[in-house]
Structure 1
Amino acid sequence: MGRKTKPKSRCCVSAVRCENCPLRMLEEGTLPRGYTVRHHKLVKVSRSRRARSAQSARAA
């Protein structure tokens, strides 16, 4: 059910978000696994960070 389009690498910071805006996809939860948005840019999450977040999710 996810989107077929890839997110843009950078948000254009317009008031109306486009369909493949990384901020919009992050908000909707449709970003590809292993990616996040920092400072309006699409960045890949490091493996160690993903492992830590998985461990904390299991502990809770």
Structure 2
Amino acid sequence: MHADPTLLSLAILATFALAGGGAWRFVRRGERMQGGLMIVAALVLLANVLIWAWPLPR
């Protein structure tokens, strides 16, 4: 079972958006709880992409 490359690409773009938005909220606006949660969500999504893209043994 292989993941669709388009979905993996969208997930990586969402990871960058979440991480960037979380950092902006954390640093600029002082909303530490929302910023931290967005960064955690980005890390979870990145971990999922790495699991989906991991090559399977044949």
| Larger radius of gyration between Structure 1 and Structure 2 | 2
**TM-score category, normalised to shorter length:** under 0.3
Determine which structure has greater relative contact order: mean sequence separation of CA pairs < 8 Å that are 6+ residues apart, divided by chain length: 2
Tell me the TM-score normalised to structure 2 length: 0.24
More helix by proportion, 1 or 2?
2
